[in-house]
Amino acid sequence: MAHKTHVAIRLRGRENPVVVQYSTFCRRTRGGVWGSGCGFPILMCKTSTGKMLPVDPTPGLDGEYTVHWETCPKERHVPEAPQDG
Ligand SMILES: [Zn+2]
């Protein structure tokens, strides 16, 4: 499925939107070596500080996108502190 590039999207839990650069596949986990990714489709997006961020290509019902690191089955999930709300 083609996805528009150079459009700003909102990420869940992040204040600043990111801009879609291109669609690709998960090739590398965070800080990992090439080939350690899960191979799922992702969108590479650029943050307001110029960093590249992998994002899942399908938004949630609220229209917000999820950073792929939070769903990648190859990523080691670090437990986060429970949040109120
Ligand atoms: Zn992945």
Residue 22 CA to residue 3 CA, distance in Å, equals 8
- Tens digits of per-residue pLDDT, 18-46? 999 999 999 999 888 999 999 999 999 99
Does the global pTM surpass 0.95? no
Q: Taking 80 as the threshold, does the pLDDT of residue 65 lie above it?
A: yes
Res 78: pLDDT:
58
Pairwise CA distance, residues 80 & 57, whole Å: 23
* Ion ligand 1: residues, CB < 5 A: 26, 37-38, 72
Q: Using the mean position of ligand 1's atoms as its centre, give its distance from the Cα of residue 39 in Å.
A: 6
**pLDDT for the residue numbered 76:** 73
Residue 23 tokens read as 């669609």
Q: What is the mean pLDDT of the chain?
A: 89
CA of 49 to the centre of ligand 1 (A): 23
